[in-house]
Structure 1
Amino acid sequence: MRFVAIGDSFTEGVGDRIDGGAVRGWADLVAAGLAAGLDEPVDYANLAIRGRLIGPIVGEQLEPALALSPRPDVLAFNGGGNDMMRPGFDRDEIVRLTEQVVRRTEEAGVRLLLQTGADATFGLPRGDMMRSRVAVFTDLLTALEDQYEHVTFVDNFADEEMRKPGYWDADRLHLNELGHRRVAARALTALGVPTELPTLESGHRAPTGVLVEARYYATYVLPWIGRRLTGRSSGDGRSAKFADWVRIDPS
């Protein structure tokens, strides 16, 4: 089994921190879960880079992923979330690029795992706008799964459990360790490796209040606005964490 993932911070694994300041994330967990579930080594690559819009994801990551030798069996793709957060959102362009990924994977004979990100809109400024944009995109992905035999679609956005604050990192935009584990379980089950969904412990409560909100805006929202105004991205200067195959053993 050879599994490659392309995308942005969701697929890179931002929010699921491990020792040394690196990130893990759902795609790493899927690779390990496939190896354990199939009881055989899995070759894994992850070309995702945080902050990427869907154009660079498709333009810079898709062909290198399909060109890996040996060719991948499964390619996981998620993109468009960063586009939907911007004023110049172009729905038709996101549709066109997503359909390009579907066609290219079909031509290459590679199974495509399409996913939506989980629903972070409950805690974000202008969350209602994001929710309406994602709803339109989700309808497209559902139709693509019905139209193409090689497409598997996982709708994480519709997972009401993951809308709870306990699945999210402090920035409210990226999933934490538990959130990434839940996404991985959903993906593994869709890929034929049934996996129990992790859930929050009963009684979990997220901190609330005026000071909590003020700290959140100062720490995360204002810096994000600053990057947009200056044309910078959180992924500037970064490269893929696994640009070529790495071997994941069942153990």
Structure 2
Amino acid sequence: MGDSFTEGVGDGLPSGELRGWADMVAIGLAAASATPVSYANLAIRGKLLRPIVEDQLQPALALGPDLLSICGGGNDVMRPRVQIPAVVDLLQRVVDQALDGGAHVLMLTGGNPTRHLPLGSLIQRRGDTLADAARARFTQPGVTYVDNWVDPELALLRNWSSDHLHLNALGHARVASNVLTALGVPVPEEFTAKTDASLPAISARNPAYYREHVLPWIGRRLTGRSSGDGRSAKRPALVPVAPGP
């Protein structure tokens, strides 16, 4: 469950499909499991946390998952107004219903891109507040909490796409490694050896950066649109995972 972070935006394959950390975690789980592993991904880019919970939680629970991941709130903290306690309460709703359904919950924070973004200091403060609140709330049996927000390696520019907002292939591999380590699952060597991600081509100080990334984002906000409008989940049903790259 989630937004662009879990959908895998920034980690595009030559086929045009997206991969991302969640796909890679599924591969790692399949490689380490003695029984077949199936995986679904309901995340859609651009979503605030409330639509994530309202639109994805029940379909996710209907799949009868053993492990349910949730990461959300990143788009909320970038809006003009956000109520952090309300965001955490929505995450609690996911945790409560998933645990009641017999699933183990994987709770993640996203990586921290703020040192590379315009108005990054404001987003940093909000992100810190959300991460601190979630860290304090979700230390309970049945929940694995992976705090990518405070990973100093993940904050480096080399892990981010040209928009400085979405992780690239290297960043997604780092998150996958963090998750598998937290779950006590061996990390496939090809994840830790990834070096194929290129540095962002456009500096945030370059007018081209604002033209290609910032202005379209502002335009969507002013017109009430989202990058996820009209999109459906890339993997809405459980599909068997091959234990390989």
- TM-score, length basis structure 2: 0.92
> Letter of the aligned partner of 1:75 in structure 2?
L
TM-fit CA distance, 1:80: 0.6
Selected match of 2:85 from 79, 92, 111: 92
Q: Secondary structure of the residue that 1:170 maps to in structure 2?
A: coil
> Could you tell me whether the CA contact under 8 Å between 1:75 and 1:110 is conserved in 2?
yes
Larger mean CA deviation between 26-35 and 102-111 belongs to 102-111
Q: Residue 94 of structure 2 aligns with which residue? A: 101
In the alignment, the residues of structure 2 paired with residue 109 and residue 209 of structure 1 have an alpha-carbon distance, to the nearest angstrom, of: 46
Selected match of 2:24 from 5, 25, 29: 29
1:139 is aligned to 2:132: yes
Q: Residue 157 of structure 1 aligns with which residue? A: 149
TM-fit CA distance, 1:199: 7.2
> Letter of the aligned partner of 2:207 in structure 1?
A
Instruction: Identify unmatched segments of 5+ residues in structure 2.
Output: none
After the TM superposition, list the runs of 4 or more consecutive aligned residues in structure 1 that deviate by more than 4 angstroms: 204-210
Residues 20, 206 of structure 1: alpha-carbon distance in 2 compared, 3 angstrom cutoff: closer
1:182 is aligned to 2:177: no
In the alignment, the residues of structure 2 paired with residue 174 and residue 209 of structure 1 have an alpha-carbon distance, to the nearest angstrom, of: 15
Q: Residue 60 of structure 1 aligns with which residue? A: 55
TM-fit CA distance, 1:91: 1.5
> Could you tell me whether the CA contact under 8 Å between 1:39 and 1:250 is conserved in 2?
no
Q: Secondary structure of the residue that 2:239 maps to in structure 1?
A: strand
Q: Secondary structure of the residue that 2:209 maps to in structure 1?
A: helix
Residues 22, 206 of structure 1: alpha-carbon distance in 2 compared, 3 angstrom cutoff: closer
Selected match of 1:198 from 192, 202, 216: 192
TM-fit CA distance, 1:60: 0.6
Residues 127, 111 of structure 1: alpha-carbon distance in 2 compared, 3 angstrom cutoff: same
Cα deviations by residue, 1:74-115 (Å, 9 ceiling, x for unpaired): 001000100100012121220210111111112111100000
In the alignment, the residues of structure 2 paired with residue 83 and residue 192 of structure 1 have an alpha-carbon distance, to the nearest angstrom, of: 31
Q: Which has the higher helix share?
A: 1
In the alignment, the residues of structure 2 paired with residue 22 and residue 249 of structure 1 have an alpha-carbon distance, to the nearest angstrom, of: 17
Q: Secondary structure of the residue that 1:113 maps to in structure 2?
A: strand
> Could you tell me whether the CA contact under 8 Å between 1:78 and 1:115 is conserved in 2?
yes
Q: Secondary structure of the residue that 1:166 maps to in structure 2?
A: helix
Selected match of 2:162 from 170, 174, 198: 170
> Could you tell me whether the CA contact under 8 Å between 1:41 and 1:250 is conserved in 2?
no
> Could you tell me whether the CA contact under 8 Å between 2:159 and 2:170 is conserved in 1?
yes
Instruction: Identify unmatched segments of 5+ residues in structure 1.
Output: 1-5
Q: Secondary structure of the residue that 2:125 maps to in structure 1?
A: helix
- TM-score, length basis structure 1: 0.90
TM-fit CA distance, 1:138: 1.4
TM-fit CA distance, 1:230: 0.6
Q: Residue 12 of structure 1 aligns with which residue? A: 7
1:232 is aligned to 2:225: yes
> Could you tell me whether the CA contact under 8 Å between 2:41 and 2:234 is conserved in 1?
yes
Q: Secondary structure of the residue that 1:188 maps to in structure 2?
A: helix
In the alignment, the residues of structure 2 paired with residue 30 and residue 66 of structure 1 have an alpha-carbon distance, to the nearest angstrom, of: 19
TM-fit CA distance, 1:39: 4.3
Cα deviations by residue, 1:11-62 (Å, 9 ceiling, x for unpaired): 0000000123221100000001100122442110000000000000000101
Q: Residue 106 of structure 2 aligns with which residue? A: 113
In the alignment, the residues of structure 1 paired with residue 35 and residue 215 of structure 2 have an alpha-carbon distance, to the nearest angstrom, of: 46
The percentage of counterpart residues that share the same residue type is 50
Q: Secondary structure of the residue that 1:21 maps to in structure 2?
A: coil
In the alignment, the residues of structure 2 paired with residue 219 and residue 139 of structure 1 have an alpha-carbon distance, to the nearest angstrom, of: 33
| Count of aligned positions | 240
1:75 is aligned to 2:68: yes
TM-fit CA distance, 1:189: 1.0
